[in-house]
Structures are given as C-alpha cells and as structure tokens.
Amino acid sequence: MEERLKALEIAMKLEEDGKKFYLEVRFFVALAHEERGHYLSLWDYREYLKDPAGWFGMKEGFRLDAG
C-alpha cells in the first residue's frame, strides 16, 4: 500500500511540474508575439524614414487615378 501511495504522489508531482512547464511556455510564446509586434512597428517606421512617399503608397495602395 505504501508503494502505491508513493507512486501516486510521484505521478501527481510530475503532472504539477508538467502544468507549470506548459504555463511557462505559453507565457514565453505570448512574449515572443509581443516582441514580433514591436519589431514590425520598428520596421514600419524605418521604411517610412527611408522613403515616405513609398511608405504611403504601400500603406494606402498605389493608385493611377485621382481617387
């Protein structure tokens, strides 16, 4: 009986550790998405500084007509 209880306690600890691990992974995935957004904002600003007219064309779409 004692061995079964010990085995259950070990299994419960492994499950708890697994849960903590996946929560940490989820947190770091969320951080990675945030950092990607920051990178894209900086990239966008760089493109604007390099070529404002081209940047506006890229954002608004180039048009050959007046409207």
Q: What is the pLDDT of residues 36-49, one digit of tens each?
A: 999 999 999 999 99
Question: Is residue 57 in a domain?
Answer: yes
Please report the pLDDT score of residue 63 as a whole number: 67
Distances (CA, A) of 65 to 9, 13, 15, 57, 62: 73, 68, 63, 13, 9
Question: Is residue 11 in a domain?
Answer: no
Please report the pLDDT score of residue 50 as a whole number: 97
- Residue range of the domain that includes 38: 22-62
Average pLDDT, 10 consecutive residues per value, the chain (67 residues): 96 97 96 98 97 91 65
Can you tell me which residue has the tokens 């600890």? 13
Question: Is residue 15 in a domain?
Answer: no
Please report the pLDDT score of residue 66 as a whole number: 59
Please tell me the distance from the alpha carbon of residue 43 to that of residue 7, in angstroms, as a whole number. Answer: 53
Question: Is residue 44 in a domain?
Answer: yes
* Count of domains observed in the chain: 1
Question: Is residue 35 in a domain?
Answer: yes
Please tell me the distance from the alpha carbon of residue 17 to that of residue 36, in angstroms, as a whole number. Answer: 29
